Amino acid sequence: MRRVRPFEHTGAAEITVVVPCYNYGRYLPEVVQSVLSQERVHARVIIVDDASPDGSADVAEALAAADARITVVRHTQNQGHIATYNDGLARVETEYVALLSADDLLASGALGRAADLMRAYPRVGLVYGMPLEFSEEQGLPHTKDSGRRGSWTIWNGREWLGWACRRGRCFILSPEVVMRTEAMRQVGPYNEGLPHSGDLEYWVRTAAGWDVGRVNGPAQAYYRVHGNNMHLTAFDTIQVDLEHRLAAFNVLSTAELQEQLPGAGLLHRLARQGICREALLLAERNLDAGGAIDLSLSLLGVAQSACTEAADTLRGRSVRYRIERARRGARPGSVQTLIEGTRRQLDRVRWTAWRKVGIS
C-alpha cells in the first residue's frame, strides 16, 4: 500500500456515467446535474430506464432533448437492475466509466479526482473514495471540498483483496466508484445470479487483475438513505448481508479466478474465515445487548456455513455458552456490558481508519 500526494493532470478526461433507473424519475434532474456539472472532465450520461411505470423514461427523454451529452435507453419490459447495469455499461465508449444509481449524487470534483489518479497510475483499474449519506429531510451534509486536499492510496490488486478477504467484507459502498473502461471490459458483465452482492463480486474480479486506488479526503459521492435502500445496520439484516457476502466471495473458487489469480484458493479461505469470525462476533454482541436467542442461532448457522468447525472454535463455544445462559433467563452481566463498550470503541477506530485510507 502506498499513500501519496494527489496532483491534477492537464486536459479533460472523457468519462461516461451510466444511470440505471426504475421509478426514480423524480431524482433524474438532480443526479444528471451532479454529473454534467463536474469540472475538468468531459462527462456523458447514459440513462437506462428499466420500463418504469412512473414516467421516468419521459423525464429522461426531456433531459436528453435539452442536452446532447445525455443518451436514453428505454427497456420495453422490466429486466431487473443487474441486466440494466450491463446494458448501460456495454454502451460506454469513453476512457473512464462510473455506475451511479438514479437516487444518488456525485460530489463536486469527484470525476476529475478519480481520473487524475488513474492517469497517474495506469495499472489502477478501479478508484473509490468516501461516500456520505444524505436524506431528503436533512439534505446534503455540509463539507468543505478543497479539491486537492487529502491523499491517494494505491494498492496492488491482490494486496487490496487480501485485506478485503481477511475482513470478509467490502470497503466500497458503490456510488463513489470510477473505473477504467478497459478494466471494465476485461472484467466483463455483472453477475445476474448475485442481485444482492453483485457489486462486491465485481470489485473482487476487478482487483484480481488490476490495482485499486482511493481518493482520501473530500467526499466522492452522496448515498441517499430512504425506505427502499436503508443500510444494513440491524443484526437481523446484517445476517442476510453476511450470506450475500459469502456468495460474492465464492467467485474466488471459480476456475477462471483460480487460473487468473495465484493464491485465489487461499484468499477464498480467508474470506470464509473472515465472515465466520464476524458472524460469531455479531452473535455474541446480540446476546450481550439482550437480543433474541433465535437471531444468534441464525448467525451461528451463517458462521457454520462459512466454516464447518465454527461452533467448536473459542468464539463459537463462547456463543454457545451465551445462548445457554440466555435460555436460562440470565441477563447480560456487567462484564458483557464492559466488553460491548470496548467493541464499540474498536468500531470507531476501524471507521476512522476506513475514512482516512479506505480499509479497516
The answer to whether residue 239 scores a pLDDT higher than 50 is: yes
Cell representation of residue 131: 461516500
pLDDT of residue 147: 45
Cell representation of residue 120: 497517474
pLDDT of residue 139: 75
pLDDT of residue 228: 53
What interhelical angle do 264-288 and 157-167 show, nearest 10? 30
pLDDT of residue 185: 98
Position 227 confidence tier, pLDDT thresholds 50, 70, 90:
low
What confidence tens digit (pLDDT) does each residue in 257-287 have? 999 999 999 999 999 999 999 999 999 999 9
The answer to whether residue 235 scores a pLDDT higher than 60 is: no
Give the mean model confidence (pLDDT) for residues 60-88.
Answer: 98
Position 249 confidence tier, pLDDT thresholds 50, 70, 90:
very high
CA 92, CA 214: separation in Å to the nearest integer? 23
Cell representation of residue 50: 428499466
Position 88 confidence tier, pLDDT thresholds 50, 70, 90:
very high
Position 148 confidence tier, pLDDT thresholds 50, 70, 90:
very low
Within the chain, residue ranges assigned H as helices are: 28-36, 56-66, 81-89, 110-120, 157-167, 181-187, 198-207, 235-249, 255-260, 264-288, 293-306, 314-327, 334-357
Domains defined along the chain, listed by start = 2-224 (3.90.550.10), 235-357 (no CATH)
Cell representation of residue 243: 450470506
The answer to whether residue 325 scores a pLDDT higher than 50 is: yes
Give the mean model confidence (pLDDT) for residues 210-231.
Answer: 84
pLDDT of residue 343: 86
Mean pLDDT of the chain: 92
Amino acid at 337: T
Which residue in the block uniquely carries the three cell numbers 446480540?
286
Percentage of the chain modeled with pLDDT above 90: 80
Position 314 confidence tier, pLDDT thresholds 50, 70, 90:
very high
Strongest mean pLDDT among 139-148, 276-285, 339-348? 276-285
Residues 6 or more apart in contact with residue 176 via CB below 8 angstroms: 110, 128, 129, 130, 131, 220, 221
CA 142, CA 175: separation in Å to the nearest integer? 18
What confidence tens digit (pLDDT) does each residue in 20-50 have? 999 999 999 999 999 999 999 999 999 999 9
DSSP, collapsed to helix, strand or coil, labels residue 126 as strand
CA 353, CA 360: separation in Å to the nearest integer? 6
The answer to whether residue 344 scores a pLDDT higher than 80 is: yes
pLDDT of residue 135: 85
Percentage of the chain modeled with pLDDT above 70: 95
Q: What are phi and psi of 197, to 5 degrees?
A: -140, 25
